[in-house]
Every structure is written in structure tokens, then in C-alpha cells.
Amino acid sequence: MTDIDALALRLHAARLERREIARLTADHPDLSLQEAYAVQAAGIALREAAGERVVAVKMGLTSEGKRRQMNLHAPVYGVLTDAMQVADAGTLALRDAIHCKVEPEIAFRLARPLRSRMTRAEAWACVDGVAAALEVLDSRYVGFKYFSLPDVVADNSSSFRFVVGSWRDPADVDVRDVEVRMVVHGVVAAVGRSSEISGDPVVSLQQLGDLAGEYGLHVPAGCVVLSGAATAAVALEAAAVVRLDVAGLAAVELVVSA
Ligand code: OOG
Ligand code: MG
């Protein structure tokens, strides 16, 4: 077995057992970003072998707020399966997670596959739906901390669960610079603007096209893309109701149980 598969299994087991582990670079200090994406892909292959289906891709670390919170300084992607999706207004059980956090996202549904080096107009032409979304992150690393980009990439960019609200026609919305407001149990927990996502959330699609081309991921028609959180993530507590309001889009909700 190659190291890549062994590392993927290490993270896979930690996730299934809800157990924190040391970051991979503690004993693989030379893990490259290329190898980290290979570990991520091997982890997704393990999930597919267990019957899960890839339905979405998420960009991460596309806003300054997130990069500062994680002390990591370049955008990354992660792959999301049907088993990670929670219905709008559905429930997430904290006992399924290690130490999860929630963050506000804007989702795009693709009518065409993403490619490398797309212009903004070309990326926008791939989109046939826009929705508000919540992403729940959960790191497999001790204390939800890591000190390198390869660690977080290998851990599928801390992916855990996501919720997508009702889709709107892209012709009816302009999400370049709108307010994003996440409310937890009636109290505003995070406020930002969509322009904090790569300057424009559509730019996240262009960046994903480039990263996917570089690391060998196919982002097909029908795929959903989360463009990255506009604000820092917020730790989740039981009995909370999380709602995200994005101006011009339908609100999306998540209920959190113990
Ligand atoms: C990495 C994932 C970041 C986002 O939207 O910025 C992310 C992390 O914060 O652990 O999903
Ligand atoms: Mg995110």
C-alpha cells in the first residue's frame, strides 16, 4: 500500500470513529500539496466504495476572514457527497461530529463543466442556479488546528455537512456584492458581504476551474459548487437553529441537536 492510501485510511478511520488525530505533517513533514490532493481523492474513493456519490465541490479559504481564522493563505477545494447533504431546515446531530463549526456560503449549480482559465463571463455562463447555503465544517485534527495547507487539503478541506436553500435563476440575481447574515438562535453570529468571497463569488468558480485542472478533479455539469465562506466560521452548540439570509436569495436553515 502506498503512503497516499495509508494516509487516506488514517483520516477515514478518524472520521468514522469521531476521533481527533495529529496532523499528517507531524510525521510526513514533506507532504506536498499535490500529494495532499491525492490523499483527499483516495478518501473520496473510500466513501464512494461505501456507496456515497459525489454531488458537490466546495472552495475554501476564499475570504480574508477565513484565511485569518485558519492562518492559511491560499484557496483550496474539497469534495462533497450525498451523505454530507442535509435538507433545508433539516437536523444535524452534534454527536456525529468531532468539533464542528458553521459558516455562510453561496452555492452555484452548474449546467456545464468547469474548465481551467475561464473568464468571469465564461464561469457565469456555466451557472444555472444560485442559492444560499450553510456549510458545517469538522476537522479530523486535534483542536481543529493545522499548520499547513497540505494537512487541511488531505482532510478534504474540513468538509462535513452542507445545506443548500432554494435555487434561483441566475438571470434574476447578482451576487457580486450582497449582504450575508448568519443568525444563530435569533442572534446575529456573522455578517459579511459576498464581495469578500474572492472579490466576487463567481471568481471562486474560476479559481476552482484552475485548481481542478491542476490537481486532476473533474467538476461536471449538474455539480453544485460552494464558493467559500464570506466570514469566519462559528462553533456549533446543541439546540441551536442556524439561519442564513443572503440578500436576493431564499433563506436557508439548519437545526442542531445534541
Ligand atoms: C478549511 C475549509 C474552509 C471555507 O469556506 O473557507 C472553507 C477550514 O476552515 O478548516 O470551507
Ligand atoms: Mg466553506
Q: 116-131, pLDDT tens digit by residue?
A: 999 999 999 999 999 9
Q: How far apart, in Å, are the Cα atoms of 103 and each of 124, 220, 223, 226?
A: 23, 25, 20, 11
Ligand having the closest approach to the CA of 228: 1
Residue 201 carries which DSSP code?
H
CA of 237 from ligand 1 middle (Å) equals: 19
Q: What is the pLDDT of residue 239?
A: 83
For residue 238, pLDDT over 90 is answered with: no
The domain 4-257 belongs to what CATH superfamily? Answer: Fumarylacetoacetase-like, C-terminal domain (3.90.850.10)
pTM for the whole structure: 0.97
pLDDT confidence bin for 115, thresholds 50/70/90 = very high
The ligand placed nearest to the CA atom of residue 163 is 2
Interacting residues of 19 by C-beta distance below 8 A, sequence separation 6+: 13, 98, 140
Q: Whose CA is nearest to atom 4 of ligand 1?
A: 60
Give residue-wise pLDDT tens across range 154-204.
999 999 999 999 999 999 999 999 999 999 999 999 999 999 999 999 999
Query: In the sheet where 252-257 sits, what is the strand order?
Result: 90-93, 252-257, 241-246, 179-184, 187-193
pLDDT score, position 221? 98
pLDDT at 1 over 60: no
Nearest atom within ligand 1 for CA of residue 158:
10
CA distances from 238 to 16, 52, 85, 254 (A): 21, 27, 19, 11
